[in-house]
Structure 1
Amino acid sequence: MKKFSIVIAGGGSTFTPGIVMMMLDNIDRFPIRTLKLYDNDGDRQAILGDALEILLKEQAPEIEFSYTTDPETAFTDVDFCMAHIRVGKYAMREQDEKIPLKYGVVGQETCGPGGIAYGMRSIGGMLEIIDHMEKYSPDCWMLNYSNPASIVAEACRVMRPTAKVLNICDMPVGTLRRMSQIIEKDPKDLEVRYFGLNHFGWWTSVKDKEGHEYLPQIREYVAENGYLTKVEVDTQHMDQSWQETHKKAKDLLAVNPRYLPNTYLKYYLFPDYEVAHSNCTYSRANEVMDGREKTVFTAAKKIVEQGTAKISGFTIDSHASFIVDLARAIAFNTHERMLMIVENNGAIANFDDDAMVEVPCIVGSDGPEPLTQGKIPAFEKALMHQQLIVEKLVVEAYITGSYQTLWQALTLSKTIPSAGVAKEILDELIVANKGFWPELN
């Protein structure tokens, strides 16, 4: 079996060790020849890189491992680039969340003004990585799970239309794991139908391989409990704020009982509730910095101090196994069925062809082939179209440097009550993002 060369772009991310561990756990399914980390923050990456070097020597000495800040070294001779970058790191995420909250608006990293601010930072970083990849390894595939995925995917569609970029999100995977526990099934044995934009969609069917439909059973459970389950199935989404998010799904279902909702819809359907239950001085970014950030980097430093990862190492991020599934689908033409973010082109019959939508796809060596979802109802279509235009305007504002266009994007967001509030937030975000955003005129 062929062995593959991989570069992880965003090597200093707190998610990197869990993803490396997950790949080691799947090494028989997806053999690795070379593993490289790439990040523009060399000091941050070095902490994780030194620890992972020790771990790999102990667990998989046959893998050639390195980390670098040099694009040519990182992207030469690679088959897959796994990208999870965060331009501005958690310090800027904190601004994304806290600035809108000052104006009584949802403060969230991928939704509303925070997501728009993050998107404006992420576009340039993603394009830079794509260009490195195409220059040094033109046959390489990028598996992108960087947020905000919808804005990033739209930017790639417009500005790098021929790039071999696959956009995917872990959120539907995590929610399906919760659904599978509700009905006591293995998620691998379930096939879903789903439509939407990233962080903005609905499940219309959850069937087993024999064709039994579980949607009514899951819907009945969610109406009472949300997506909270008796036993936690999720290594990533277990903090208190996430528990509240899973619980809130029952209210989303009450608004639209037809389908099972993506949890992120709460920011659009209940923005006033979210603001009322947010802490303006201690946001989700602070939770992460005091939680996962400290845990991962403390573990890394301990491995380096001890010279071994055998005593207290990193944990496997089994939640991220979808990344290996996607890589295998491309490498071995497995025709895996996965939810992907792709250009619509009729997959949703009554929606814009040039929309980047999230739908089930069959993935093989040529990339994803979307499965048609038919026509969608008016309520969902209207919500999606409003959010789609927000995302398109953000990308247009990035390209043209237009203040007016970005103001319109914020004004159109369902999370913001008026153009006046949108302008106040935009003006403060411009100051906070100086050096990260293009100049706006």
Structure 2
Amino acid sequence: MALKEQSIVVAGGGSTFTPGIIMMLLENLDKFPIRQIKFYDNDYDRQKQIADATEIILKERAPQIKFVATTDPEEAFTDIDFVMAHIRVGKYAMREKDEKIPLKYGVVGQETCGPGGIAYGMRSIGGVLELVDYMEKYSPDAWMLNYSNPAAIVAEATRKLRPNSKIINICDMPVGIEARMAEILGLESRKDMTIRYYGLNHFGWWTDIRDKDGNDLMPKIKEHVAEHGYVTPGELNGRPEEEIEPSWMHTFGKAKEVYALDPKVLPNTYLKYYFYPQDEVEHSNPEHTRANEVMENREKKVFSECNRIANIKTAKDAKLVTDDHASYIVDLARAIAYNTRERMLLIVPNNGSIVNFDPTAMVEIPCIVGSQGPEPLTMGEIPRFQKGLMEQQVGVEKLVVEAWAEGSYQKLWQALTLSRIVPNARIAKQILDDLIEANKEYWPELV
């Protein structure tokens, strides 16, 4: 029986990640057939550059797919099966402020962790809720697959403020690390592994990794991580499969120190910001942060390539490539559309999956995904060390969402103070006041 063709809107059509999604969708048309792709963005000029190239790519590779790029919500969200959402409210200009303002006070400046992540979360909540509302108004049977950052705060906001919405929050970071694990093991793909994992988004641990025959793969990965972190054998030998930016190489290497805190499990790389914040500040350049690196590299490369394709009117030699997270989102959409019952790592309400943890916390755990959405797997009890860390971080996330919903300065100050990354309440207040000034255009008014 032929698979039903799907209609998709990419919310954040002007994102540099959008071409990677399109390339992945085209590679998987046999497994996930598509009748229509739409782009939606509130920045016409930015989206147009990606859309012009995409239109040429589709005409050459899949002319049967109808393509629309629009800034009109009704046109974008009518007659769709999936919203693939990856918006960045304030774009990279605001990310740069998220990173540089905390560094003025000797505090980590990072996109999703600490003050920078809180600032970004306060901008993202309203944008993601707006997309949910458009979807429910114009295509109430559709699903939103959301990987807009900071995923932990956005997931808590949708749980609390849109509890009945058909939205699944995902993150590509574990996928990227698992690809490195597969390379360390000499496997062809991360899909050759079955994993157990628990935590919060950007704040979790692998507890078990096995091959399809049930053989334990953890010892070999641990041996490598204890010596090299998640730097792959190819990178160690000077033969990386792709060019990795210096900040990421530092992150993958730092996993060695993060792992040392609990060698029974394998950590997510983002834990470095919470365990060694002073190291990250020392390693940072307050004048040139990750946002600058992205704007100078990924942003320029993607837009330059899209404009080149649009100018020469052909994508036959296009240098646009599939992203790790694009493959993940296609797998998720397939699982829902065709009830594949795939096992995937998702951000979902705990509801007892982690037995000794807040049932309302949005946790990242393996789920079986079918046409009704995710069915979380039980992870059992977790150790005191991880539980204590996670409780503190969940407190931060919940306070941020409450601050946004209530317009509460006090709760946002408390959220910043509670973050492991911020040294004390006085510095938290100084950072908060600077962030309020920088985000006047984007945050609700706080009193």
TM-score range, shorter chain: over 0.9
CA contact (8 A) 2:13 2:41 kept: yes
CA contact (8 A) 1:235 1:319 kept: no
- Number of the residue aligned with 1:19: 21
5+ long unaligned stretches in structure 1: none
SS class of match (2:231): coil
- Number of the residue aligned with 1:113: 115
The structural deviation recorded for 1:187 is 1.4
Match of 1:47, as an amino acid? Answer: Q
- In the TM superposition, what are the counterparts of 1:86-235 in structure 2 within 5 Å? 86-185=88-187, 186-231=189-234
- Number of the residue aligned with 1:241: 247
The structural deviation recorded for 1:313 is 4.1
- Between the aligned partners of 1:75 and 1:85, the Cα distance in structure 2 is 15
Q: Deviations over 1:215-252 (max 9, x none)?
A: 12111110000000023699899211001000000000
CA contact (8 A) 1:203 1:259 kept: yes
Change (3 A) 1:304 1:239: same
Pairing 1:325–2:331 present = yes
The structural deviation recorded for 1:316 is 2.3
Q: Deviations over 1:74-106 (max 9, x none)?
A: 000000000000000000000000000000000
- In the TM superposition, what are the counterparts of 1:371-410 in structure 2 within 5 Å? 371-410=377-416
Change (3 A) 1:234 1:43: farther
SS class of match (1:368): strand
The structural deviation recorded for 1:415 is 0.1
The structural deviation recorded for 1:423 is 0.2
- Between the aligned partners of 2:95 and 2:424, the Cα distance in structure 1 is 23
Root-mean-square deviation (CA), in Å? 1.3
Pairing 1:294–2:300 present = yes
Q: Could you tell me which of 324, 335, 345 is aligned with 1:339?
A: 345
The answer to which of 206-215 and 101-110 deviates more is 206-215
Change (3 A) 1:189 1:12: same
Change (3 A) 1:429 1:249: same
The answer to which of 296-305 and 310-319 deviates more is 310-319
- Number of the residue aligned with 1:261: 267
- Between the aligned partners of 2:407 and 2:289, the Cα distance in structure 1 is 30
Change (3 A) 1:235 1:25: farther
The structural deviation recorded for 1:408 is 0.2
Q: Deviations over 1:388-426 (max 9, x none)?
A: 000000000000000000000000000000000000000
SS class of match (2:74): helix
Q: Could you tell me which of 423, 426, 435 is aligned with 2:432?
A: 426
CA contact (8 A) 1:13 1:85 kept: yes
- Between the aligned partners of 1:230 and 1:207, the Cα distance in structure 2 is 20
Q: Deviations over 1:14-41 (max 9, x none)?
A: 0001110111011111001000000000
- Between the aligned partners of 2:231 and 2:325, the Cα distance in structure 1 is 17
| Identity across matched positions, percent | 66
The answer to which of 213-222 and 289-298 deviates more is 213-222
- Between the aligned partners of 1:406 and 1:36, the Cα distance in structure 2 is 36
- Between the aligned partners of 2:177 and 2:262, the Cα distance in structure 1 is 18
Pairing 1:49–2:55 present = no
Pairing 1:251–2:257 present = yes
- Between the aligned partners of 1:155 and 1:234, the Cα distance in structure 2 is 39
- Between the aligned partners of 2:433 and 2:234, the Cα distance in structure 1 is 45
- Between the aligned partners of 2:30 and 2:84, the Cα distance in structure 1 is 19
Q: Deviations over 1:302-336 (max 9, x none)?
A: 11110111134422225521111000000111110
- In the TM superposition, what are the counterparts of 1:338-357 in structure 2 within 5 Å? 338-357=344-363
- Between the aligned partners of 1:222 and 1:84, the Cα distance in structure 2 is 31
- Between the aligned partners of 1:268 and 1:106, the Cα distance in structure 2 is 9
SS class of match (1:173): helix
Change (3 A) 1:384 1:104: same
Match of 1:9, as an amino acid? Answer: A
TM-score, normalisation: structure 2: 0.97
CA contact (8 A) 1:192 1:205 kept: yes
Q: Deviations over 1:344-368 (max 9, x none)?
A: 0010000000000000000001110
The answer to which of 305-314 and 171-180 deviates more is 305-314
- Between the aligned partners of 1:111 and 1:26, the Cα distance in structure 2 is 34
